[in-house]
Structure 1
Amino acid sequence: MYVVIVGAGEVGSAIAGSLADTHDVAVVDIDGDRVEELVYDVDVLGVEGDGADLETLADANIERADILIASTDDDETNIVTCGTAMTVTDTFTISRVKSAKFLRTWEQSERAFGVDHMVATNLLTAEAITRVVGLPAAQDVETFADGLVQMAEFEIAETSPVADQTVEEADRYESLTFAAILRDDDVVIPRGETVLEPGDDVIVIGSQESVHTFAHEIAPDVDGARNVLVVGGSDVGYHTARLLQDRGLKPRLVEQNHERARELAEELEGTTVLESDATDREFLEREHVADVDIVVAALDNDEKNLLASLLAKRLGANRAVAVVDSGAYVPLFEAVGVDVAVNPREATAEEITRFTREHQAENVAIIESDRAEVLEIEVGPESVLADRPIRESVDDLPEGVVIGAITRDGELVIPRGDTVIQQGDHVVLFVDAESLDAASTVL
């Protein structure tokens, strides 16, 4: 497959890095230095120029492209780029937009704006935050097989009851698989004798009930989030509050601007909107921030989000989730005390990459900026898994592949050594990034 990516920023670079190993990729950007750097780092064709210009797209061989991905930081540029491509080719077009208003318009008409698929960054970010709020101890959460299977990533704290236990000691759940441990720069496939060390990130796959039970075991002091405070009435803050309402919660939202606060109060009937400065200590104390389960910082810049998160936690809030626009700041935020840092650009890159791979997998979750993936596949007759017990088929799987869960006819099947995987089953697997190419040829 030949893919043209317009925009060599964080999103475009991440997508190019994910696709370049298995597809031919061209990247277009007006910044020649960015293009040169990406060509040096990743095996892609680099084109310097305006992606909304037909001549530039011609230089990128748009006429033979299977997919065009417009991923600059400007919504209008991305939409115009897709429309321009449509005038000369039937290439499938994907546009990244920040504002959901374009998404709502696009959803009203098939291929509006010349866009075949639209990804709304702010909405995706809010959805990622909402999943974490639903499982407060987790750093990342994804669902598979129509909600029957859940994948979650947890950090093992020094105070966690499972710290320094072996996987065999910690594994007390019938429908839970310890898929992987992320330890420093290594991906460890756990065995029964593998020790869960403080600082490890553990990936588990299983039923929602078992994952939630494990979450409580790993962090017994973190209960389900009922009291949620959203800081900032940005588009991300608005969508987060709206999604939490849809889940039956009654969040509070703090917005300093009078007009914006009034607008949000009118649109969010199930949310209490407070007009104030979220970095005002006295205000937070009056609002009993010490009783808050999760604070979501969704202000208009990273520095404010860091300040609001740390202040709320200092005053007693249990956990803090912060929107971090710069991907480079994510490790810093989590190192100084923010529990979960959500990067909109990374969430967008994951969603676009997931969509481009849907012909290979039913669903894809990208782990830790492409260190690994969790895939949902439907087992076909050519798969090494088909009609064989798991203990036989694993010998034909590459190292770094773990079978996490199986669903059959809408029912969860617990994977054991003697479990026979049938054609048509949906299997959720953890795959180390280094094993992706080899796995794709046998699954």
Structure 2
Amino acid sequence: MFGNVKSRKNGLNIIVVGGGKVGATLVERLSRENHDITLIDKNRVKLDAITSAYDVMGVEGNGASFAVQKEAGIDSADLLISVTDSDELNLLCCTLAKRAGRCEAIARVRTPEYSQEAAFLRDRLGLAMIINPEFEAASEIARVLYMPTALEIGTFAHGQAEMIKIKVPEGNQMCDHTLAEISKASSSKVLICAVERDGEVFIPSGHFIIRADDKLSFIASRKNARTFLASVGFQTHQVKSTMIVGGGRVAYYLAKQLLNMGIDVKIIENDKERALKLSEELPGAVIINGDGTDESLLREEGIEYVESFVPLTGIDEENVMLTLYARKVSEAKCITKITRMGFSSVINSLDLGSVIYPRYITSEAIIAYVRAKKESMGSNNIQTLYHLFDQKAEAIEFNVDKESGVTGKQFMELKLKDNLLIALINRNGKIIIPSGTDSLMVGDTVVIVTTHTGFDAITDILR
């Protein structure tokens, strides 16, 4: 074992197996939240790089080995997360961890065949979670294509409510009006809960004035979200056609969802064998075997007329280049998949529209679970977690499962922290956009939006 680790307070003891892109992201995010992290990987170079960059320990070896897990401290671990490139290895690591220690276990499972059996595998193996980054990324892309004027769409209250991020265009009717004025003019119950302007994020009051080029996130029930967007001049209909470049797992999962939504799908895949396999698995899609970075092929296949364009190659630079090209020659809604996390300021400056980071989607689901476990040793007090505006703000959905200092009091009576908004209440399936006279009851779920980080419990909203 090697690395330099400090003693942490109130954190969990977590073992991460796999030092690839997802593993490195998890180590970064979890160590930032003051947990004791031990990373297992066979590659000494990866271990050296990650353990020197973060305050973590490293163990070189096979994560499915009992001896290696013992060396990593499985006896005292609270959680093991296996995110190697092998589904089978991840499941084996988690199964061994459940037998060797008393910890919870989370496995990354990406293969479509296993994903269809995720609930069965999770229950039979006793896992806390099985997560599929490619499927989750595809689902996020599909949500945006269902309402293409959105930059991002997050779901709360089991899909009954949405948080939608949009960019305010020049000349939009919201420009130069306060949030109070916008709310008064709209018949839809929505709450604008975060605004990004010139790289700075605001949790706005009713006096905040919207300007052109602001990026704002608002929350509402699904029905009210669309009504509000239509009322302020945004299109709300789904796209009718999509061109996808790259035929990997994300493309497969996305195509299946889009076809079920009645959207025409065309996939351009360079590998002949993969193209043939996709044509068998996706009989409703048009599969083209060719180079999706070839300008003449893209024009021949109708990039100028398609309503949406999603580059899903394995190379970020190609995805960015393809998006910039599509935006130049067409009116298509573009969604760009980015794998690496660096150069976010450059990516943001390119105005690519919607950008999807599969690694973030994976880590946020896991961090929501970790925070819930840290606070209440396994009870599900955090239901959903989203990071907003390049991690400058968080939207967290809490379960209100017991009486506390935040229940039974009108919000105007609570001493809330600054830069925080109580955005939505789900009460027995009824979506409430709260005012100062509302209050929380046991059994509610509540969404708060804040620029603070690391909230574990609903009581953290109090000063």
- Give TM-score scaled by structure 2 length: 0.83
1:100 aligns with 2:119: no
Describe how 1:22-421 pairs up with structure 2 within 5 A: 24-30=35-41, 44-50=55-61, 52=63, 53-75=65-87, 77-104=89-116, 107-109=119-121, 116-158=128-170, 160-171=172-183, 172-173=185-186, 174-216=188-230, 220=234, 224-358=238-372, 359-393=380-414, 396-421=415-440
- Sort the Cα spacing of 1:252 and 1:188 in 2 relative to 1 into closer, same or farther, 3 A: same
- Secondary structure of 2:252's match? helix
On the 8 A contact 2:40/2:72 being kept in 1, the answer is no
On the 8 A contact 2:149/2:235 being kept in 1, the answer is no
Aligned to 2:448: 429
1:408 shift after superposition: 1.9
Q: How far apart, CA to CA, are the structure 1 residues paired with 2:295 and 2:33?
A: 52
- Secondary structure of 1:265's match? helix
Q: How far apart, CA to CA, are the structure 2 residues paired with 1:222 and 1:421?
A: 32
> What fraction of aligned residue pairs are identical, expressed as a percent?
24
- Sort the Cα spacing of 1:255 and 1:212 in 2 relative to 1 into closer, same or farther, 3 A: same
The one-letter amino acid paired with 1:255 is: E
On the 8 A contact 1:106/1:113 being kept in 2, the answer is no
- Secondary structure of 2:210's match? coil
- Secondary structure of 1:388's match? coil
- Secondary structure of 1:290's match? coil
On the 8 A contact 1:406/1:413 being kept in 2, the answer is yes
- Sort the Cα spacing of 1:205 and 1:41 in 2 relative to 1 into closer, same or farther, 3 A: farther
- Sort the Cα spacing of 1:111 and 1:25 in 2 relative to 1 into closer, same or farther, 3 A: farther
- Sort the Cα spacing of 1:401 and 1:383 in 2 relative to 1 into closer, same or farther, 3 A: farther
The one-letter amino acid paired with 1:152 is: I
Aligned to 2:9: none
| Count of residue pairs the alignment pairs up | 440
Q: Which runs of 5+ in 2 are unaligned?
A: 1-11, 373-379
1:46 shift after superposition: 1.5
- Sort the Cα spacing of 1:110 and 1:402 in 2 relative to 1 into closer, same or farther, 3 A: closer
On the 8 A contact 1:216/1:223 being kept in 2, the answer is no
Q: How far apart, CA to CA, are the structure 2 residues paired with 1:338 and 1:397?
A: 36
CA deviations on 1:57-103 (whole Å, 9 max, x unpaired) are 33332111121012345545534433443442232111224433443
Q: How far apart, CA to CA, are the structure 2 residues paired with 1:292 and 1:189?
A: 37
CA deviations on 1:192-226 (whole Å, 9 max, x unpaired) are 22122344331211111232244446663675322
CA deviations on 1:234-265 (whole Å, 9 max, x unpaired) are 11111111011222323222233343333222
The one-letter amino acid paired with 2:22 is: V
When structure 1 is superposed on structure 2, of 87-96 and 327-336 the one drifting more is 327-336
CA deviations on 1:366-393 (whole Å, 9 max, x unpaired) are 3245432212223344333322222223
Task: Give the aligned CA root-mean-square deviation in angstroms.
Answer: 3.1
- Sort the Cα spacing of 1:34 and 1:239 in 2 relative to 1 into closer, same or farther, 3 A: same
When structure 1 is superposed on structure 2, of 70-79 and 55-64 the one drifting more is 70-79
Q: How far apart, CA to CA, are the structure 2 residues paired with 1:379 and 1:193?
A: 30
- Sort the Cα spacing of 1:51 and 1:370 in 2 relative to 1 into closer, same or farther, 3 A: farther
Aligned to 2:26: 15
The one-letter amino acid paired with 1:335 is: S
When structure 1 is superposed on structure 2, of 76-85 and 335-344 the one drifting more is 76-85
- Secondary structure of 2:267's match? strand
- Secondary structure of 1:327's match? coil
On the 8 A contact 2:308/2:334 being kept in 1, the answer is yes
- Sort the Cα spacing of 1:434 and 1:376 in 2 relative to 1 into closer, same or farther, 3 A: closer
CA deviations on 1:148-207 (whole Å, 9 max, x unpaired) are 211122233445443443323333444111111233453311112212234433121111
When structure 1 is superposed on structure 2, of 28-37 and 55-64 the one drifting more is 28-37
Q: How far apart, CA to CA, are the structure 1 residues paired with 2:86 and 2:398?
A: 34
Q: How far apart, CA to CA, are the structure 1 residues paired with 2:177 and 2:20?
A: 42
When structure 1 is superposed on structure 2, of 99-108 and 341-350 the one drifting more is 99-108
Q: How far apart, CA to CA, are the structure 2 residues paired with 1:9 and 1:201?
A: 32
- Secondary structure of 1:263's match? helix
Q: How far apart, CA to CA, are the structure 2 residues paired with 1:439 and 1:33?
A: 41
- Sort the Cα spacing of 1:17 and 1:303 in 2 relative to 1 into closer, same or farther, 3 A: closer
- Sort the Cα spacing of 1:146 and 1:7 in 2 relative to 1 into closer, same or farther, 3 A: same
1:4 aligns with 2:15: yes
- Sort the Cα spacing of 1:29 and 1:196 in 2 relative to 1 into closer, same or farther, 3 A: farther
- Secondary structure of 1:26's match? strand
Q: How far apart, CA to CA, are the structure 1 residues paired with 2:360 and 2:33?
A: 20
